[in-house]
Amino acid sequence: MTTPSIDSARLWTSLTEVSRYGATPAGGLNRLAASIFDGQARDYVVAAATEIGCTVRIDPLGNTFLRREGTDHKAKAILIGSHLDSQPLGGKYDGIYGVMAGLELLQSLQTSNSVTTHPIEVVVWTNEEGARFSPAMMGAAYFAGKFSAEELHSRTDVEGVTLGESLRAINYLGSDFVSPDQFASYFEIHIEQGPILEREGIDIGVVTAVQGMRWFRVQLSGQSGHSGTYPMEGRRDALAAAAQIVSGVQTIGLAQPEIGRATVGHLLVTPNSPNVVPGNVELMVELRHPEVLALNTMTDELHALLKTVESRTGVVIEVKQELDSATIHFTPELIDIVEASATASGMSSTRMISGAGHDACQIAGLMPLTMIFIPCVDGISHAENEDITQVWAANGAQVLVEAVLQVDSHLK
C-alpha cells in the first residue's frame, strides 16, 4: 500500500480549532486536566473521530481511546497517544499536537480508503501535566496499573475539588476496561520542547530515551505571628526556611553540569498575608537526570538539604515523594522504523534524548514503543508563546503515518 499523504490544511485547522478551548488572551492555553475546557477539547476530538467511523472507549480515568478497525479484528492494535491538558499558562501544542496528529492519521487512512491489518487506536491520556492533580502522567500510569482508579479519583486540586467529580462533570468518568495487552506497540509524537531541531534545521527528532524525573512534595510547618511584634530572634518563619530550600535546590541542579535539572515550580504560602509571619508553606521539588546514579545523588542531596534547613530554622519539614519516573529507553526496532520513515518521507532526522517527560514514560515495559519529535520555535514550551509551523506539523504527521504503516505491515 502506498503511504497516504496527510492533509496539512486539515491538520492545521484542527489544531487551530481545538486550541479555542481554554485559550488565553496572550495566545496560549489554560486547559487544566478535567476542566470544562479539557472536556470541550475532548468532545471536539471524539466528534471528529466518530465522524470517520471510529469507536470510542473511555476508561475510569477518562483515558479516551478512538479505534479504527483493521482487517484482523483479533490483532492487537497499534496505539498512538498524547494529552490535551495544558499547564496553567501553557502552549497550544505540548501534547495537543500529538493527539491531533494521531487524529489526522486516522482521517488520512479513511479519506484514502487505506486498509490496515491491525486496528489503530488514538488515545487521549488524562492529566499528563500534573499541574492541577498530582502526579503527572496520571492517566497513563493508571492504564499501566500503577494506581487504582479510586486512589486517583480522590486526588484534589488546590480548591479541594476531586479528580473523580471533575471527570464526572465533563462526562469522561468512563467504565470501559482497556488494558495494555490489547496493544502491539505505542507511538507518541510531540513537540521537542527544546531548541535543537530548529537550531540545527532538522525536520524530525528520532527519540531514543526520556530522562528520569522525580517529584517531592515538601510541607514546612513553622509558627505564624504578628509581623510587627514577633521578634526576629527565634522566629520559625516557614517562608524564610522555604527560601533556603529553593536556593539549595538551585545549587543541586547547577552541580549537575549540562543535563541535570532541579526546580521548585510550585509554592503555596499560608496565610499569605503581608503582615503575618508565614506559618506554613507547601512546595514541590522536581529533579531530572538521564542517569539513575546522578538522580540518586541529587535525591540524597535534597534530603540532606531539608534536614539542614530544619535544624537551622526549627521549622518542621516533611517530604513525600509523589513521582518516580525512571529513565526509559525506547525500542530499537521502532527507533529504526521512525528513522527510516523520516528518510522515506524525504526528511532529515537526528537521534536525541527527551528532557521532558511524556505519557510514553508510563507505557515503557508494557509494549514496544517510541517517540517522534518535531521542532518548536526557540525551543519554548510550558509558556503561552509556545509555537510551531504548519510545515513542521505536517512533516511530523507524515512520518507518523509512514512509521505506523511500516509497523502494521511488519508486525506478525
In the complex, the residues that contact ligand HGY under the rule CB under 6 A are: 128-129, 136, 356-357
In which residue are the cell numbers 526576629 written? Answer: 232
**Grid cell locating 79:** 496505539
Contacts of residue 251, defined as CB under 8 A and 6 or more positions apart, other chains included, come to none
The number of residues making up the chain comes to: 412
Nearer to ligand HGY, 153 or 358 (CB): 358
CB 406 within 8 A of CB 340: yes
81 binds Mn ion (CB under 5 A): no
Q: 224-233: string of b/e by CB count within 10 Å (b at 16+)?
A: bbeeeebeee
Task: Assign 243 to helix, strand or coil.
Answer: helix
By a kind-dependent CB cut-off of 5 to 8 A, residue 136 interacts, out of ligand HGY, Mn ion, none, with ligand HGY
Q: How far is the CB of 128 from Mn ion (least distance, A)?
A: 5
Phi then psi for 280, rounded to 5 degrees? Answer: -135, 145
Among 38, 59, 85, 94, binds Mn ion (CB under 5 A): 94
Q: How far is the CB of 63 from Mn ion (least distance, A)?
A: 15
Alpha-carbon gap, residue 78 to 184, rounded angstroms: 5
286 binds Mn ion (CB under 5 A): no
**Grid cell locating 343:** 528518510
Q: 175-203: string of b/e by CB count within 10 Å (b at 16+)?
A: eeebeeebbbbbbbbbbbbbeebbeeebb
By a kind-dependent CB cut-off of 5 to 8 A, residue 339 interacts, out of Mn ion, ligand HGY, none, with none
Span from 90-98, 180-188, 194-202, 211-219 in contact with Mn ion (CB under 5 A): 90-98
Nearer to ligand HGY, 302 or 337 (CB): 302
Span from 23-31, 86-94, 226-234, 388-396 in contact with Mn ion (CB under 5 A): 86-94
CB 182 within 8 A of CB 74: no
Nearer to ligand HGY, 31 or 68 (CB): 31
95 binds Mn ion (CB under 5 A): yes
Q: How far is the CB of 126 from Mn ion (least distance, A)?
A: 13
The footprint of Mn ion (CB under 5 A) covers 94-95
